[in-house]
Amino acid sequence: MKNIVCLVLVLVSLFFIGSVSEVCGGTNGTYVTYYLPYLHTNPAGVVYCVVSNFGIGADNITHVNFNIMGNERGSVDRSTAQLTVLNYFTSKKTVMLAFSGQGIYVGTTTDNQYVNMSSILGTSEMYGAKLSFVSTIVAGTNAVRDSHLNCKNLVMSCFQGTSNPKRNLVGYSCEAGYASNADDVTTFKPYNIRQNNFSGETTADNATGYSF
């Protein structure tokens, strides 16, 4: 019965939208997003996050997005900053990100700065953000399966402060889901929501599926 329903949906989708990627479990990518409710631009409150990719080659990261979702002044536009650090997040790699001052660094704060937030955040301001890792790899000659990122194969732990040992950062959470296509990786869809319910949305609230 399920196969018959799926076939009907495929035929309908081909007739109306010419695509089956949103029907019967098809997808163009998967993502893992970490929600970080507390970060601070004061260098004394530097946050170090260690990310490990436990996946296989099909889970290599193809996009890394960072969105500031709120600050003390309520003045953020939630635009997406892309980190061009993809070679760091291949399978079997462990990488440290540093959120220090108004910048994001790969490695320590003396390493390369990949995001400059000085136009958005003050020099001593609290803010919250989401950090998203996306893989749009599909099965083919170089991949044994489609990407399937989840909160168990792309893991992260964060620490705060300049003292030794560092303080464990708490309160952040992980979510995994589908990325709708390779070109618009901000259109995320949680696993527990049917993929075709929100096709065409530009930016989706990951908790409800509503656009904003």
Q: Is residue 102 part of a domain?
A: yes
Q: Is residue 188 part of a domain?
A: no
Instruction: Give one DSSP letter per residue of 54-96, joined into a string.
Output: -S-GGG--SEEEEEEEEETTS-----EEE---GGGGSTT-EEE
pLDDT at residue 181, as a whole number: 54
Q: Is residue 197 part of a domain?
A: no
Q: Does pLDDT of 13 surpass 50?
A: no
CATH number of the domain enclosing 85 = 2.60.120
Q: Is residue 13 part of a domain?
A: no
Residue 179's pLDDT band (cuts 50, 70, 90)? confident
SS3 23: coil
pLDDT at residue 208, as a whole number: 42
CA atoms within 13 A on the CB side of 112: 6
CA 181 – CA 51 distance, rounded (Å): 24
pLDDT, tens digit, 9 for 90 and up, residues 102-150: 999 987 777 776 788 888 888 899 999 999 998 888 888 678 888 888 9
The verdict on whether omega for the bond into residue 43 sits within 30 degrees of 0, i.e. cis, is no
Identify which has the larger pLDDT, 198 or 162.
162
Q: Is residue 79 part of a domain?
A: yes
Residue 81's pLDDT band (cuts 50, 70, 90)? confident
pLDDT, tens digit, 9 for 90 and up, residues 180-209: 654 444 455 555 444 444 444 434 444 444
Q: Is residue 50 part of a domain?
A: yes
Q: CB of 59 within 8 A of CB of 137? A: yes
Q: Is residue 207 part of a domain?
A: no
Residue identified by tokens 């409150």 is 45
CA 82 – CA 95 distance, rounded (Å): 17
Total count of domains within the chain: 1
Domain limits for position 67: 28-181
Q: Is residue 76 part of a domain?
A: yes
CA 20 – CA 62 distance, rounded (Å): 23
pLDDT, tens digit, 9 for 90 and up, residues 22-71: 333 444 688 899 999 999 999 888 999 999 999 999 999 988 888 899 98
DSSP 166: P
* CB-based contacts of 149-152 (< 8 A; 24+ apart in sequence): 149/30, 149/31, 149/32, 149/55, 149/59, 149/176, 150/30, 150/32, 150/176, 151/32, 151/175, 151/176, 152/54
pLDDT at residue 127, as a whole number: 93
pLDDT at residue 171, as a whole number: 86
